[in-house]
Amino acid sequence: MPATARKPRLLFFLTGSISCYKACFAISRLAQAGIEIRTVVTPSALQFIGKSTLEGLTGQPVASDMWELGRAMEHINLARWADLALVAPATANTLNRLSAGMADDLVGSLFLAWEIQRKPWWVAPAMNVAMLNHPITQASLKKLSGLGVRVLPTGEGNLACGEEGPGRLLEPDQLVMHVLAELGPKIA
Ligand SMILES: Cc1cc2nc3c(=O)[nH]c(=O)nc-3n(C[C@H](O)[C@H](O)[C@H](O)COP(=O)(O)O)c2cc1C
């Protein structure tokens, strides 16, 4: 690898959905593929997976609390550091908050600190079909898309709530495929 070459950098956000475990599979495969990954988890996501899991998979510390001692500028530094941001799973709550420009947590602050015209920010929604079809969520997705955010599709099938339909988080191999299509060419 030339002295100046570096690994592509992915900022991976996990928000509070049962499908966080699927994101962990994707993170594992992307790390093995040579992508440097830093993770940001909402407090709700920590109800589904542990920081130790993500630290183990990425070899990097996990960010969650904007006010953590010694990491106060993380909301700017991580936005500067990454080549691509991916929110997967993206909850209805986070999507609606991002579209409103809320910045009272790490996900929202990083979104506003992100130069959206220069670097890609993607969301992979995961939620109950009614939450996905709700006019507020649909309006947020449309707004985010208009701002330059790439909204990845959802899968169809059995949802954790017992219903069927769209709203499933993409499968890990599909998430991996999308990220590698974007960052793969940068792997030296
Ligand atoms: C068991 C369980 C599963 C959930 N799964 C989802 C989900 O898949 N999608 C979603 O939008 N919200 C889901 N929620 C609700 C979110 O966790 C909740 O709205 C939370 O405030 C999201 O916070 P965050 O966006 O900051 O992570 C779930 C809640 C519970 C208790």
pLDDT digits (tens, 9 = 90+) for 61-98: 999 988 887 777 887 899 999 999 999 999 999 999 99
- 94 Cα to the center of ligand 1, angstroms: 9
Minimal CA–CA distance to 79: which of 40, 101, 35, 111?
111
The residue to which tokens 């979104």 are assigned: 111
For residue 142, is pLDDT > 70?
A: yes
134 pLDDT band, cuts 50/70/90, is very high
With residue 52 as reference, give the H or E element that holds it.
helix 51-58
Shortest-distance atom of ligand 1 to CA 159: 8
Considering the entire predicted model, what is its pTM? 0.94
Phi, psi of 69 (to 5 degrees): -60, 130
Ligand 1: list residues with CB < 6 Å. 15-19, 42, 44-45, 91-94, 126-127, 131
Mean of pLDDT values over 134-146: 98
- pLDDT for position 52: 97
Catalytic residues: 161
Q: How, if at all, do strands 164-168 and 155-158 pair?
A: antiparallel
Residue nearest to atom 11 of ligand 1 (CA): 91
For residue 21, is pLDDT > 90?
A: yes
- 130 Cα to the center of ligand 1, angstroms: 13
Residue 62, CB half-sphere, CA atoms under 13 Å: how many?
21
* Per-domain boundaries in the chain: 9-186
Percent helix, strand and coil across the chain, each rounded to 5? Answer: 45, 20, 40
9-186 domain in CATH 1.10.10.10? Answer: no
160 pLDDT band, cuts 50/70/90, is confident
**To test ligand 1's pocket by mutation, which of 13, 17, 96, 98 has the most ligand atoms within 8 angstroms of CB?**
17
- pLDDT for position 86: 98
